[in-house]
Amino acid sequence: MTALLAALCALTLVGRTGCTDNGLGGNGASELDYTDVELGLAQRGPKFDVAHSKNVTALVGKTAQLNCRVHDLGNRTVSWIRHRDIHLLTSGRMTYTSDQRFISVHNPHTEDWILKIRFPQRRDSGVYECQVGTTPPIGHRMYLSVVEPLTMILGGPELFINTDSTINLTCVVQHSPEPPPTIRWTHKEEEINYDSPRGGVSVITEKGETTTSHLLVQKARPSDSGRYTCAPANANPKSVLVHVLSGEHPAAMQHGGQLRLQYPISAALLSIMVTLMGYFYKQDIRDIL
């Protein structure tokens, strides 16, 4: 038995001081003193699996989940702390905040401890720490970013199009944690059929950090007038009102077949206001000097 323990020490604890030679035993072999080792196996403590405990980007109003994976936890407790106000949110499976949107989720068959945040808002963005109750405690920090995707149609809210020109509507989706799986286009609240007998209707979508969808309607006719809506699957919809004109519009400015109303009276008033503000500003400066 002594020889077996000596072999274990030699194989697994080379360079450690836990195995010391205290003389000869009865059979002539060296006796070993195991002062800080149990059968040659070192003690192991909890360890965070950072590959499965990452920063998270979530959508406003959509449940967010921060995952913390801890190996060799033993009987220790996992807690979640919000760094903004150093507030203990959960400990084990118990919630320690009056904000019941925060829930601790753990499946006993896994090493994952999840902080679930229901109906997250932008103010919930910040640093959260998964902490293990060792002595002293150890923790792993993650950043939660709660974003609200922005949808816009360039040139809106109204567009004026000449008959027989091409309607080109460009919908842009920004600040989305991932590209929208789908983008629906509707005309007068009905989904556009790109295979309809009308023909000449197509859509081109480019996905990325900023997703762009182009709706093209060739040879525009008065029946193509109406409200067009771009509806991304993971963002708010946006609409534009299109007018297809059969002749010149007296209060419109043409630009590549697409027309937008101009307001010369408002522009003139704005110009006068700016001029007056500049005049009074100069007068005030003179009075001060």
Name the 3-class secondary structure at 34: strand
Q: Which residues of the chain, if any, have pLDDT below 50? A: 1-42, 250-289
Cβ-proximal residues to 130 (8 Å cutoff; 6+ apart), any chain: 48, 53, 66, 68, 70, 78, 79, 80, 113, 115, 139, 140, 141, 142
The rounded distance, in Å, linking the Cα atoms of 217 and 202 is 7
Cβ-proximal residues to 163 (8 Å cutoff; 6+ apart), any chain: 220, 221, 222, 244, 245, 246
Residue-wise pLDDT for 51-106, tens only, equals 999 999 888 888 999 999 999 999 999 999 999 999 999 999 999 999 999 999 99
Residue tagged 């060296």 (tokens): 30
| Amino acid present at 274 | V
The rounded distance, in Å, linking the Cα atoms of 22 and 200 is 94
Average pLDDT, rounded, for the chain: 77
34, two tokens: 């195991």
The rounded distance, in Å, linking the Cα atoms of 213 and 211 is 7
The rounded distance, in Å, linking the Cα atoms of 122 and 1 is 64
Residue 248: predicted pLDDT: 56
Residue 99: predicted pLDDT: 94
